Chains A and B, each alone.
Chain A
Amino acid sequence: MKLRNIVVRRLLQLVSVALGVTIINFFLLQLAPGDAAQVLAGEAGAATPEYMAALRAQFGLDQPLLVQFWKYILNLAHFNLGYSFRHGMPVAQLIGERVPATLLLMGASILFAVMAGATLGAIAAYRAGRIADVVISTLALVFFATPLFWIGLMLVVVFSVWLDWLPVGGMFTIEAGYTGWKYILDVARHLVLPAVTLGLFYMAVYTRLMRATMVEVRRQDFVRTAVAKGARPPRVLFAHVLRNALLPLVTMLGVQVSSIIGGAVLVETVFSWPGLGRLAFEALFQRDFNLLLGILLCSSIVVIVVNWVVDFVYTRLDPRIRFA
């Protein structure tokens, strides 16, 4: 297929999915009882009819639903995500402020999960049935089954409160006002616990996946052939076994990247990490629908793009698969 056709088709797909997600979300959110004005008045601890009316007029909630929807779609068509009246800021700016923190956390936790998971899985596969395998598989099962927030809190209790090695939460030491390398080091220290907490579940998934696939691939004829023709063990491992065992891992990686905002809500809350997941979660409780719709739209685009990347990586790993 021609490249131009591929690009056009993919873009059309992107726009239609994004539009569908927006429409569904917009009307689904209307089902939640109460509105943003009510939340604000509720938080204020007191209210009068005049105050409520002023808030509703400010938020545009006094307009009919379809008018609100039409305005939202018009804004989107101009690449404008709208305005969060609650925060007194454009949605795009709010999201932009939080994206770096989330990307950092996401990147670190994925890196940790993939590296640790693949390594542990490979070791377990090579030692299948022996003590190392039993230990790794048991650990994987434990992390697979334990709730995220609990792991997070336990890590805080052990490494921050008892041992006093790492900070309790936040992204950097605000009081210290570090710059340059000191700042980077400080952020890294703050990153360890949340990244590990967020990564542990997927590490367990990758470990199990890697172990299962490698055990299976090792039994295949082409591996036996490679060994028989005299290839060295590292070459057998990396060029023959690992490469073929990676496909399921890449599929799972796509799933992890797509679902990370959901998991990030808990981890960002427990570790006071100023990221996007918490922003989305709070927006829901605050009925700040412009903001929530913006975040949902952005994350749906992320999911689509990640799927493209996964499709593309498949073609590199397995030349039999074509990118279309």
Chain B
Amino acid sequence: MNKKVFKLLGATALTLAFAANAMAQTRGGTLTAIIQPEPVILTSALNTAAPTGFFSANVFDGLVEYDNDFKLRPALAESWDVSKDSKTLTFHLRRGVKWHDGKPFTSADVKWTLENVWKKIHPRNQIIYGTVTGVDTPDDYTVIIRFSEPSLAVLSSLNSNGAQVLPKHLYEGTDILNNPYNNKPVGTGPFVFKEWSRGNYITLERNPDYWDKSKVGSKGVSKPYLDKIIFKVVPDAGARAAALEKGEAQYAPFSPVPLKDAERLAKLPGLKLETRGYDWISPWLFLDVNVDRPYFKDARVRQALAYAIDLNAFNKVVWYGFGKPAISPVVSTLKQFHTDDVPKYGYDPKKAEALLDEAGLKRGADGVRLRINLDYLPYGDDYKRSGEYIKQALKRVGIDVNVRAQDTPTYTKRVYGDRDYDLSVVWFAGFADPLVGVTRAYWSDSVGKNIPWSNGSGYRNAEADKLIEQAQSSASQAERVALFKKLQQRVQADLPSIPLLELHFFTVQAANLKDTVAGVDQIYSSLKNAWFDSAPKVANATQATASVTPQAAK
């Protein structure tokens, strides 16, 4: 048999196997996932850091889930209505849901969490729930939220990450931030917290009483399918790659290995790369320009910076294609809000030089117009290389850039507190509604208050502020869309920060781990749909020879 036929047969067999397996969810197995960095706390209602969100969605349900089109799907809330004036939101909660300690889940839990956590502590939600004037619970399964002004953005943030309900009976009357249950969470979700060995691992076990009893598959098993999830802390990127390659871990989210290793791992037969499940985060990488610097006050200089950077090459060289050149801070996957009708700055170094000349920044005798510093987000090599690429690009138009390194607290204090910087490379999560994640980069109210991930450029524009405020309290989604489009045009003309890439994060996972992506917010949702096509490889001496290692398969 020649090779080609063999390959074809293989492909057919694979397709057939896939078709047969599509309905053959099987129960059982232990999933070992890599969590990095180690979470600080295990409840994302109190800390929205990525590892906490990734972990705690398995213990806590949201009021709703999102599907692959940003549409709402019932979870703890079976249905919901928005009043005509958009000022009242009613949730009808699912009956018979129990906390992991056996107490019933009721509307009192939602009311308490909203009033004490979402409104007061949740780092992101205050812009959404700040205008709540009252919460009514006419019965155990109805929650009515009244707003003084419409707050339509709330619908974009009702999953386990945006609206994590905490058990009132364990939290009421305690010091919430110091409550011991923050680190041994009791939720309603598909997996039950078992143990956290610090610096080592966290284990979850299947919740046998999970509310989602819908039988799926030919074998009629119910969710969740996995018996156990172990979240391993693996601090070194090289060790993460080795653990995945060897099959000691089968699931690792948030681009766990350096981009240059990703391609190699993706080619191994036992592994695959998954880029879906991150759209809800809407991440975009950008170059913040400190507009308080005298030489950056002129918009023409900022535009020249944009013209000088070839984003296609930047994407290929620095980010190995794990991105898409951005034209707006609202990423293109947010189809509803994104507009491409904005001023664009395609790669054009001649135009950049002309603009710089016009702005009075002429080349000196040594060919240098300007000497500045660039600080990059200290989250790894990719950001450092981004800074170095920009240094090279700007050198060509006569701007001499010195790339500076520091640790995270030093970086955030420099940019958001002291404002002692020229350019900074950073990414923000835009989230499903620009009000939650995008507008913070442009709203003048947060300049220089030492709040990490706020308005770092120092942009203060009355029109932009007004658009943001209107979008916050508008009762009509169509009007909000129009306002956000106007905002994109405004900030892309002024360019206080230069969008570079829409980032594509990836998950490395075992090829036989199925149905890991159920919606745009998968990375902050539970793995209740995931199942192993065959028993996972247990990595130890006695079984290593029996199971197929990626090397053997190769």
Residue B239 contacts which of A89, A97, A169, A186 (CB distance < 8 angstroms)? Answer: A169
For residue B79, CB closer than 8 A to chain A, the reply is no
On whether the beta carbons of A33 and B409 are closer than 8 Å, the reply is: yes
**Shortest Cβ distance from residue A139 to the other chain B in the assembled complex, whole angstroms:** 24
* Nearest chain B CB to A4 CB, angstrom units: 42
Given contacts A46-B453, A98-B199, A274-B200, contact A269 B409 (CB under 8 A): no
Nearest CB on B from A23, distance (A): 23
Contact A43 B126 (CB under 8 A): no
The interface residues of chain A lying within 8 Å CB-to-CB of B551 are 161-162, 164
Docked complex Cα distance between A58 and B539 (Å): 42
A34 interface hit (Cβ, 8 Å): yes
Contact B47 A40 (CB under 8 A): yes
The reply to whether the CB of B246 lies closer than 8 angstroms to some CB of chain A is yes
B73 within 8 A of A: no
Of the listed residues A40, A153, A157, the one surrounded by the most CB atoms of chain B closer than 10 A to its CB is A40
- Decide if B451 touches A41 in the complex (CB within 8 Å): yes
Residues in B with CB closer than 8 Å to A45 are 48-50, 123-124, 428-429, 453
With A33-B413, A46-B440, A156-B238 given, is the CB distance from A272 to B538 under 8 Å? no
Q: How far is the CA of A286 from the CA of B440 in the complex (A)?
A: 24
- Contact status B201-A174, CB under 8 Å: yes
User: Residue-by-residue, is A89-100 near B (CB-CB < 8 Å gives 1, otherwise 0)?
Assistant: 100001001100
B236 touches A269 (CB 8 A): yes
CB pair A270–B238 under 8 Å, yes or no, is yes
A-side contacts of B230, CB under 8 Å: 174-175
Supposing A41-B452, A270-B236 touch, asked if A88 and B49 sit within 8 A by C-beta, the answer is no
Binary per-residue interface labels of chain A (17-45) against chain B in the complex, 1 for a CB within 8 Å, 0 otherwise: 00000000000000011110011111111
Shortest C-beta distance, B541 to chain A (Å), equals 7
Which of A38, A48, A157, A271 contacts B412, CB < 8 Å? Answer: A38
Cα(A171)–Cα(B232), bound, Å = 11
Q: Is the CB of B248 within 8 A of A171?
A: no
Say yes or no for B454: interface residue by CB 8 A criterion. Answer: yes
The answer to whether B201 touches A97, judged by C-beta atoms less than 8 angstroms apart, is no
Which chain A residue has the least Cβ–Cβ distance from B452? A42
Given contacts A46-B123, A86-B40, A156 and B242 within 8 Å (CB-CB): yes
Q: A38-B409, A38-B412, A44-B48 given as contacts; is B126 within 8 A of A50 (CB)? A: yes
Nearest residue in A to B239 (C-beta to C-beta)? Answer: A169
Instruction: Name the interface residues of B19-66: CB closer than 8 Å to any CB of A.
Output: 30, 32, 37-38, 40-41, 47-50
12 more A-B contacts (CB under 8 A) besides A33-B413, A41-B452, A161-B551?
Answer: A32-B410, A40-B40, A47-B451, A55-B177, A88-B180, A160-B246, A170-B234, A175-B539, A189-B541, A271-B239, A274-B200, A279-B198
Asked whether B453 lies within 8 Å of A42 as measured between CB atoms, the reply is yes
* Interface bin, chain A: 35 or more
Interface size on B, residues (CB 8 A): 68
Alpha-carbon gap, A74 to B236, bound state (A)? 38
Instruction: Please provide the chain A residues from 232 to 257 with a CB less than 8 Å away from any CB of chain B in the complex.
Output: none
Q: Which 7 A-B pairs have the closest CB atoms?
A: A34-B409, A274-B199, A274-B200, A43-B49, A46-B124, A42-B452, A33-B410
Q: Report A's interface with B, CB cutoff 8 A.
A: 32-35, 38-52, 54-55, 58, 85-89, 94, 97-98, 153, 156-157, 160-162, 164, 167-171, 173-176, 186, 189, 269-272, 274-275, 278-279, 282, 285-287
Contact A186 B242 (CB under 8 A): no
Near A by CB (< 8 A), chain B positions 157-180 give 175, 177-178, 180
Contacts of B453 in A (CB 8 A): 42, 45-47
Query: Closest CB of chain A to B480's CB: distance in Å?
Result: 20
Closest chain B CB from A118 CB (angstroms):
31
Count A-B pairs with CB separation below 8 Å: 185
Contacts of B197 in A (CB 8 A): 97, 274
A39–B450 alpha-carbon span in the complex (Å): 12
State the CA gap A40–B104 with chains docked (Å).
32
Chain B residues near A38 (CB-CB < 8 A): 409, 412-413, 417, 450, 452
Chain B residues in 8 Å Cβ range of A171: 200
In the bound complex, CA of A50 to CA of B130 (Å): 12
Cβ of B233 < 8 Å from any Cβ of A?
yes
Residues in chain B near residue A157, CB distance under 8 A:
242
- Interface-central residue, A47, A85, A87, by most chain B CB under 10 Å: A47
Q: Would A50 and B452 count as touching, CB distance under 8 A?
A: no
Chain B, range 428-484, C-beta contacts under 8 Å to A: 428-429, 437, 440, 449-454
- Given the interface pairs A42-B453, A167-B248, the reply to whether A156 lies near B413 with Cβ below 8 Å is no
List of B residues within 8 angstroms of A51 by Cβ: 121-123, 126
* B183 A164 Cβ-Cβ under 8 A: no
A34-B412, A43-B40, A274-B200 known; A170+B540 contact, CB < 8 A: no
**Neighbour of A285 across the interface among B199, B408, B429, B440, CB < 8 A:** B408
Residues of chain B lying within 8 A (CB to CB) of residue A98: 198-199
Closest B residue by C-beta to A153: B238
**How far apart are the CA atoms of A160 and B247 in the complex, in Å?**
11
B-side contacts of A173, CB under 8 Å: 538-540
Q: How far does the alpha carbon of A274 sit from the alpha carbon of B196 in the complex, in Å?
A: 12
Residue B414 lies at the interface, judged by CB distance under 8 Å to chain A: yes
Residue on A nearest B414 in the bound complex, by CB? A33
- Could you tell me if A272 and B242 are in contact, using CB atoms closer than 8 angstroms? no
B182 at the interface (CB under 8 A from A): yes
B376 to chain A, nearest CB (A): 14
What CA separation (Å) do A189 and B32 show in the bound complex? 19
Residues of B within 8 A of A287 (CB): 409
B248 is contacted by which of A55, A89, A168, A278 (Cβ under 8 Å)?
Answer: A168
